Amino acid sequence: MFLRNNQLGTHFRRQAPVGQYIVDFLSIESGLVVELDGSQHHTEEGLAADKHRDRYLASQGLTVLRFSNVEVMKNLDGVLQMIEGQVQARRRASKR
């Protein structure tokens, strides 16, 4: 909900395909992916899969931000500020 309607300065698509992956949220304009991770991501296998996935997404010019579901529930304002900060930083970098 908070990532829709340009509320953070860019448009995010939900459940967007990138290569063989489906990312939680994608801003093509900002080159930013936001992933919300449940407990399965905190296992050894999950961490390895995420690392591989993040390398692929980076090779496509995307920056990946990962947040746990718990972090989102307990610190939504902080999570949104971090996303908005990355949107602004990527915008400034693209103007150089």
Task: Provide the residue ranges of all domains of the chain, joining segments of one domain with +.
Answer: 13-81
Q: Which residue type, as a one-letter code, is found at position 20? A: Q
**Backbone torsion region of residue 14, taken as left when φ is above 0, otherwise alpha when ψ lies between -120 and 50, otherwise beta:** beta
Q: Per-residue pLDDT tens, the chain, 96 aa: give them.
A: 567 677 787 899 999 999 999 999 999 999 999 999 876 656 678 778 889 999 999 999 999 999 998 899 999 999 999 999 999 998 888 777
pTM: 0.85
Query: How many CB atoms within 10 Å of residue 3?
Result: 20
Alpha helix (H) residue ranges in the chain:
44-59, 69-74, 76-95
Q: Which CATH class is domain 13-81?
A: alpha beta
10: which strand partners? none
Q: Is residue 11 within 8 Å of 72, Cβ to Cβ?
A: no
